[in-house]
Amino acid sequence: MSGNDDILFIVDEYLAGNRLDSVSATKMPDCSRSYAATLIKSGHIRVRDEVKKPGYRVRLGDPVQIKKPKATPLAFTPEAIDFDILHEDAYLIVVNKPPGLVVHPAPGHHSGTLVNGLLHHCPDLKGIGGRQRPGIVHRLDKDTSGALVVAKNDLVHHHLSRQFKTRHVLKTYLALVHGHVTPDTGSITFSIGRHPVERKKMSTVSPKGRLAKTLWSVRERFASLTLLELELKTGRTHQLRVHCTAIQHPIVGDPVYYNRELRRKFLQNKALHSLTTPIKRQMLHAWRLQFTHPITNAAVLFEAPLPDDMHLLLSALRKTDK
């Protein structure tokens, strides 16, 4: 975090009565409550210019000031990490990120990331983009697999970033979800924001949600599961996972949004239970990525083959259904 991103806010009726560490964490992207507590203890977060305890219950009208400490530059160490390259030229790389691989170094993940592997493959990436995420234009969750584009210079990084921001990039995913989805096509339009209680989750009931839209179509049907093709029209955090759960068709294996109530509803089938219970990550794959090449100005499209775990599960489902 940078000292240029200091935050000052006044506690409103919605926030009043909550813990200071929890409230502060909701105001800082990618910040956990435990890290917010550390900032409070060190005096970086104050209430009425006074140091409080992390468990202090904020009151209506309290002014809260967050002075973020300067970020400690991450050490980008090149590492030999396996990942498939779908395309590479002098300007960009498109990779098929495997599930379980974190995209860029962050607190708790200083090594073993896609960026570490990219720096081993292409050492000149360091510093591109003006951030501590060399070459990275967009990201995928750790346990989501699929196509991801990386810029090799600042011009390409800027051009691609603008395409993502203006929604000129076509992102199509494949997701295996619970239940029988009907009809064959449709759309989901629910606003998404930080969960009002569980701040590490996103939710469609957030009072400060932002509009999110997902288009879906059925690719394949199984006894109690459906393989969907999902197109992102917006790019909210966890959008597909949240939207699928919101329509009562959670993604198979999702450890965050597939709750106990939904598990009881969908795991009545013993054969299905035995196939899906071992799955420990969401069966979500960034299948297609289409954008305009920043240098050639040509429309380019890349498809990422399914990872082994998702491919094997679909194969098993096809045999079970026969």
d(CA 109, CA 76): 11
Scan for tokens 């000052």, then name that residue: 8
Beta strands in the chain, from DSSP E residues, in sequence order:
7-10, 45-47, 63-66, 84-88, 92-97, 145-151, 170-178, 185-189, 193-194, 202-203, 213-221, 225-232, 284-292, 299-303
Catalytic residues: 141
| Planar angle of CA 314, 316, 319, nearest 5 degrees | 110
Length of the chain: 322
- What single letter denotes the amino acid at residue 194? R
Which residues make beta-bridge pairs with 19? Answer: 57
Helix (H, G, I), strand (E, B) or coil at 217: strand
CA distance linking residue 125 with residue 134, whole number of Å: 6
